[in-house]
């Protein structure tokens, strides 16, 4: 059995972790989980009690939540340089924007796609404030460039970059030039292309 098992579905956030695993270049075993019965089975809930993908098992430990998985893998394999080293001030950018993408950004885009209206007087108690404020904050995240941590490509680019790419694709994030340029820099990476190919192949094989 592999030391790294990856539970996913080709039409899920698992694609983000797939890209991360391809960036990592460590061996892993993929277990494709179908939506519905299989994902909500007792066997799979023993991995993720929510019956959701993605998840990984690494040396016996389970990690769920896409941003946590990306961070964990970057931390476990520091030699891959997918996270700034301890003591590097860029760790502040990494941590800040990983959490920003996981919480305020995801909530702002979900609210937009589901048409949840937050009353102006309630914005103070809502983590993302309002959609415009949350999206404008991304200008600062991308200001250093070419990546979130400046010259160093890291796991936060995998996660935040995927959020931007999907957000622009699904119309929940505006196609600002800065966002489009950043995403095209990321999607042309061999690891991103490889992960994409593996998922598309899986979708095609299921359609047969």
Ligand X SMILES: N[C@@H](CCC(=O)N[C@@H](CS)C(=O)NCC(=O)O)C(=O)O
Question: Which parts of this chain interact with ligand X (CB under 6 A)?
Answer: 12-13, 35, 39, 51-54, 65-66
Which lies closer to ligand X via its Cβ, residue 63 or residue 134?
A: 63
Q: Please tell me the total number of residues recorded for the chain in this structure.
A: 208
Provide the minimum distance between the beta carbon of 35 and ligand X in the complex, in angstroms, as a whole number: 6
Reported as type and span, the H/E element at residue 17 is: helix 14-24
Provide the minimum distance between the beta carbon of 87 and ligand X in the complex, in angstroms, as a whole number: 29
Provide the minimum distance between the beta carbon of 135 and ligand X in the complex, in angstroms, as a whole number: 20
Residue with smallest beta-carbon separation from ligand X: 52
In 3D space, the residue among 68, 56, 71, 75 whose CA is nearest the CA of residue 2 turns out to be 56
192, 162 Cβ separation under 8 angstroms: no
Which lies closer to ligand X via its Cβ, residue 111 or residue 152?
A: 111
Which lies closer to ligand X via its Cβ, residue 13 or residue 90?
A: 13
The CB-side HSE value for 38 (13 A sphere, CA atoms) comes to 9
Contacts of residue 188, defined as CB under 8 A and 6 or more positions apart, other chains included, come to none
User: CA-to-CA distance for 197 and 158, rounded, in angstroms?
Assistant: 16
User: CA-to-CA distance for 143 and 8, rounded, in angstroms?
Assistant: 33
Q: What are the tokens at 132?
A: 């415009």
Which lies closer to ligand X via its Cβ, residue 98 or residue 141?
A: 98
55, 63 Cβ separation under 8 angstroms: yes
Provide the minimum distance between the beta carbon of 20 and ligand X in the complex, in angstroms, as a whole number: 12
Provide the minimum distance between the beta carbon of 52 and ligand X in the complex, in angstroms, as a whole number: 3
Which lies closer to ligand X via its Cβ, residue 52 or residue 58?
A: 52
């Amino acid at each position: 059995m592999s030391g790294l098992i990856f539970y996913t579905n080709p039409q899920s956030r698992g694609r983000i972790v797939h890209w991360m695993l391809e960036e990592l270049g460590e061996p892993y075993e993929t277990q494709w989980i179908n939506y519905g019965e299989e994902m909500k089975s007792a066997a799979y809930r023993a991995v993720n009690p929510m019956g959701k993908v993605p998840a990984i098992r690494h040396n016996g430990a389970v990690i769920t939540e896409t941003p946590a998985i990306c961070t964990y893998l970057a931390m476990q394999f520091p030699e891959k340089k997918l996270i700034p080293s301890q003591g590097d001030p860029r760790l502040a950018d990494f941590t800040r924007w990983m959490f920003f993408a996981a919480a305020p950004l995801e909530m702002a885009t979900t609210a937009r796609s589901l048409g949840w209206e937050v009353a102006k007087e309630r914005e103070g108690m809502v983590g993302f404030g309002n959609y415009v404020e949350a999206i404008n904050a991304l200008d600062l995240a991308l200001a250093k460039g070419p990546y979130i941590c400046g010259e160093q490509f890291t796991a936060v680019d995998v996660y935040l970059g995927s959020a931007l790419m999907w957000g622009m694709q699904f119309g929940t994030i505006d196609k600002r030039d800065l966002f489009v340029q950043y995403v095209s820099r990321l999607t042309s990476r061999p690891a991103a292309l490889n992960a994409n190919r593996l998922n598309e192949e899986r979708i095609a094989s299921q359609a047969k």
